[in-house]
Chain A
Amino acid sequence: AQSVTQPDIHITVSEGASLELRCNYSYGATPYLFWYVQSPGQGLQLLLKYFSGDTLVQGIKGFEAEFKRSQSSFNLRKPSVHWSDAAEYFCAVAPYFGNEKLTFGTGTRLTIIP
């Protein structure tokens, strides 16, 4: 079965600094990869997703992620964070096209300091 690992439980970043959140997956083939964000007390919102093609994916709110097959990683990045980016971020994987079962990582909580 596929699995997703987010090694960082909590990250603190200064406003305006760059951000990278790590995500590693375990699956034999190339899975379908997603990043979701959850603001406090809210549901999850999709930031971006990767199915195939260009390994650098652009998402909403200025986020991007890069798929690296050799490292089984799909790290999320943002060049300059804003206080409103404080939230919990989840990486998720679906095993193949048409399979709707997402497996989520445990999440990384992002704190922004002034």
Chain B
Amino acid sequence: DAGVIQSPRHEVTEMGQEVTLRCKPISGHDYLFWYRQTMMRGLELLIYFNNNVPIDDSGMPEDRFSAKMPNASFSTLKIQPSEPRDSAVYFCASSAGAGGETQYFGPGTRLLVL
């Protein structure tokens, strides 16, 4: 298996632009997670899905952030408009089943908003 795939790996954009991060989970996994990692706040869970349905989005920082999972093999995290404070590494992870099953992380997208 190829593991969790994220694209792009690096993104540089200007403040005010729309940013879309993409994730392909491991085939057969029914949970998908989006995390953000910064020096100041560490690793934070933004949102997670079960069977393509958002279960908990309490970690999404504000309305500028949105996430979708149109099917079992694809998810997006969108920031519109982007701000410099959104600069971070964004990770996608997936797991099979509930009950603390191992979450497998993608390599991350490093986002820099100028």
Contacts and interface: CB of A to CB of B under 8 A. Distances in A.
Interface of A: 32, 34, 41-46, 49, 51, 90, 94, 97-98, 100-107
B103 A102 contact: yes
Contacts, number: 53
B34 interface: no
Interface of B: 4, 31, 33, 42-45, 48, 50, 55-56, 91, 93, 95, 98-100, 102-108
A58 to B, nearest CB: 15
Given A41-B107, A43-B4, A104 B102 contact: no
A100 B4 contact: no
Contacts of A100: 31, 33, 48, 50, 55, 95, 98, 100
Contacts of A34: 100
Nearest to B50: A100
Given A43-B93, A104-B43, 20 more contacts: A32-B100, A41-B107, A43-B106, A44-B91, A44-B93, A46-B103, A49-B102, A97-B99, A98-B99, A100-B31, A100-B33, A100-B48, A100-B50, A100-B55, A100-B98, A100-B100, A101-B45, A101-B56, A106-B42, A107-B42
